[in-house]
Structure 1
Amino acid sequence: MTEAYSFPNLLSGGWRNMDFGPFRDGVEICRLAEGSPEVALLRYAPGASVPLHSHPGLEVVLVLEGAQTDENGRHETGALVLNPPGTQHSVQSDVGCTVLIQWERPVQILGGI
């Protein structure tokens, strides 16, 4: 990213009008900044999940709507989750959710497909 970008009204639902594409089964992505770090929106359908994975760099997640669950608990709208380097978890969303996510390095999938 070589120039500044602004995403007006993101926290008040501005993300609903953004373009999402396929990411994983049941999860869509809207990439906001590629490279290191990468910043994106992830939209989980109800029942969607991401298998066990490790974080070689810091991952920051802000739940914009809905809820997601991992080994550390249930994270609902407004929750800020920090997954430091060296941690691992799997993510599920029983009700569906949209999150703003930033990761320093791509995660390493450890289980599932």
Structure 2
Amino acid sequence: MSAPVVIPNLLNGGWRQLPFEPFRDGVEICHLHRDTTGATDSPHWALLRYAPGARVPEHLHTGLETILVLEGAQGDAFGTYEAGTMVLNAEGSRHAVYAAQGCVVLIQWQRPVQILDGS
């Protein structure tokens, strides 16, 4: 049996002590749980840290995506989501994401997203 992943004080900045790596232009990722066997139907949990002005191009959700904004604000065509907001993007939904002032989110993908605009 594996030990659980424990992140003390996550809501009060405990994520700042975790290792991040480049993910997309202006966005860094800290992988918390992911399948390393190559399976495409396995959930993935991560923290994403957006630099001010960072964007993720339009993408399609091939499974449920759950986001909890921990710091700053993340936005899309449907609104701006401040710290403490949870957003559920259903399978089949699509959007582009931006962080005007930067943000950190806890994100879970049920299945990988499909980038739509070629970026």
Q: Which amino acid aligns with 2:58?
A: L
Deviation readout 1:24-53 (Å, 9 max, x if unpaired): 000000000002210000000000000000
The alpha carbon displacement at 1:3 in A equals 4.1
How many Å apart are 1:2 and its aligned residue? 4.8
Indicate the residue corresponding to 2:101 in structure 1: 95
Which sections of structure 1, spanning at least 5 residues, go unmatched?
none
Q: Find the aligned partners of 1:84 and 1:20 in 2 and give their Cα distance.
A: 27
Structure-2 separation of matches of 1:32 and 1:5: 7
Cα deviation for residue 4 of structure 1 reads: 2.0
Q: How many residues align?
A: 113
Match of 2:86 in 1: 80
2: CA distance between counterparts of 1:99 and 1:54?
A: 19
- Taking structure 2 as the reference length, the TM-score comes to 0.91
Letter matched to residue 46 of structure 2: A
Q: 1:112 to 1:95 in 2, by over 3 A?
A: farther
Distance 2:67 2:2 in 1: 23
Q: How does 1:25-64 map to 2 (within 5 A)?
A: 25-35=25-35, 36-64=42-70
Aligned pairs (5 A) from 1:12-27 = 12-27=12-27
